[in-house]
Amino acid sequence: MAGLFARLRDFIFISYGQKVFLLATLPLIAAVFLITLVVSAQSRQLAEREIQALEAQLIETKRAELQNYLSIARTAVINTYGRAAPDDADAKLAVTRELSAMLYGQDGYFFVFDYDGNNLVAPRQTYLIGKNWTGLEDLNGIPITDELIRIARTGGGYHIFDWPKPSTGATERMIVYVNGLQDWRWVIGTGVFIDDIFENVAVARADVETRIRTTSYYIVGIAVAALIAVFISGMAVNLRERRLADAKLKQLTQRIIDTQEEERGRVARELHDGISQMLVGVRYALELTRRKLGSDSAVSDTLNRGIDGLGSTIQEVRRISRDLRPGVLDDLGLGPALQSLTDDFQTRTGIATEFETVVFRNRLDEEARIALYRIAQEALTNIERHAEAKNVQVVLKGSRNGGMLRIADDGIGMLWPRADRDQSTGLGLRNMQERIEQLGGTLRIMSTRTGQTGTVIEAQVPLSHMLSPQNITKESA
């Protein structure tokens, strides 16, 4: 549950850069979504009007075609119909035969109903002939026979309904044109199936949907490209700003380190040249007083204790001065400074300390010498306080990659990086990291809590901090 709340808190309290990115992208995404909806809706409306116009045009063409077919049929039977009487059976038989023989296309034929609903002619669907079809409806409940009779009685017209297709038997939409032979009370008509029209319309609609979908893809693609461009530009600006901030932070850190070293050097000089000399002067005055007093044992003992304490104080002041800024580091170089540091450490703590180095004098620039010395100083302080070590090894050497300082102990070890430490701990190790990062080097800390392997710290500075032979000669001179 705590992890869920933490993730929720991280989601709500997003960074400033993420807020800027969301403010830049969310309106763009919303605008693209709305544009896609509007374009799709407008395209569908326009396409639907075009499709409806196409459908009406095709149906109108079919109607004109039906009128022509029926005109041909009336022309073929008009002479027989015109000369016959209303009850002339022979004329009616001749007309039905004539109409039955008039077939066209794969499904086209002429049909005849009388006004009572009896089918007289249906050459492609002979099962209809001779039966009364009053009240006949299609699958959708649309009346067929009664409506055709009504249309014929009123002078003729069109009717649309579903009807079985003679060639396939499948029920398809059919448009019929009928006219009436009023003297004989006949409905004569013909029809064509318009499923091809619906197929064309369906193809047109599918094509429209494909085009709309393609247009949507284009819009989404453009939007994604824009988002990628925004993201890349934002990342570029962010990286540039971060590099500038890192550079400024690095400069500030270096300035702090330089200021710290300058202040340490100033305080060390003040202690050595000022306070230490004053204490030495006081000690000489006390010793002179002791000689003048002669053999007064009570006063002499007191002065002796005071002189001894003052001597210890002078040594402590000098030690503090040396820790703040060892003169041997500036005068003789890093190797002798580390030798003096390890000797003092062994004398003070009793921990066996071994120092190993190669000829390394004046091979590193001032920043690298100070950084490696401070790292060694901090590492030895940590060993004294926490490691419970018996032996310490300090190695200083050069390599193809630069200068390397290695400090190893056989203490209890530690976990690094420590996930359970708070912000107030580990300052020494972080100071080591900051110093070595300022030089562009690497710091490796290898340790476990096994009580066997101890801790190994390796600090390496790059070749860029190695002095050239000219600089070495000049500095040595």
**Domains along the sequence of the chain with CATH:** 49-193 (3.30.450.20), 328-476 (3.30.565.10)
Whether the pLDDT of residue 416 is over 60: the answer is no
**Listed range (7-11, 177-181, 407-411) with the worst mean pLDDT:** 7-11
Q: What pLDDT score was predicted for residue 52?
A: 82
pTM (predicted TM-score)? 0.47
Tell me the longest C-alpha to C-alpha distance in the chain: 179
Question: Hey, what are 318's tokens?
Answer: 């000098």
Dihedral of CA atoms 283, 287, 293, 294 in degrees, nearest 10, equals 160
Helix (H), strand (E), coil (C) string for 63-124: HHHHHHHHHHHHHHHHHHHHHCCCCCHHHHHHHHHHHHHCCECCCECEEEEECCCEEEECCC
Q: What is the pLDDT of residue 415?
A: 63
Q: Which ranges of 270-296 does DSSP label H, i.e. alpha helix? A: 276-293
Helix (H) or strand (E) holding 447: strand 442-447
d(C-alpha 260, C-alpha 14), whole Å: 36
Give whole-number Cα distances, 208 to 51, 53, 61, 200, 213, in Å: 10, 15, 23, 12, 8
More reliable by pLDDT, 275 or 450: 275
Question: What is residue 117's predicted lDDT score, i.e. its pLDDT?
Answer: 93
Mean pLDDT of the residues in the chain: 80
pLDDT at 419: 46
Lowest mean pLDDT among 194-203, 355-364, 392-401: 355-364
Give pLDDT, residue 133.
93
Does the structure show a pLDDT above 80 at 382? yes
* pLDDT tens column, 51-92: 888 778 888 888 898 889 989 998 888 888 888 888 888 999
Buried-state track 402-418, b at ≥16 Cβ within 10 A, e below 16:
bbbbbbbbbbbbbeeee
Which two tokens mark 268?
A: 């060390």
Are 143 and 136 in contact, with CB atoms under 8 Å apart?
Answer: yes
Q: Name residues whose C-beta falls within 8 Å of residue 279's C-beta, 6 or more positions apart in sequence.
A: 310, 313, 314, 317
Q: Which amino acid is at 280?
A: V
Confidence band of 147 (pLDDT split at 50, 70, 90): very high
Give the contacts of 280 (CB within 8 A, at least 6 positions apart): 314
Give residue-wise pLDDT tens across range 15-61. Answer: 666 676 677 777 778 887 888 888 878 878 887 888 888 778 888 88
Give the H/E segment covering residue 316. Answer: helix 297-324
Q: What is the pLDDT of residue 476?
A: 35
DSSP class of residue 460?
A: E
Average pLDDT on 346-357 reads 88
Q: Which of 439, 53, 27, 39 is nearest to 226 (CA)?
A: 27
Q: What is the pLDDT of residues 234-277, one digit of tens each?
A: 778 778 877 887 777 767 776 776 676 667 667 766 666 677 77
Residue keyed to tokens 């800390």? 445
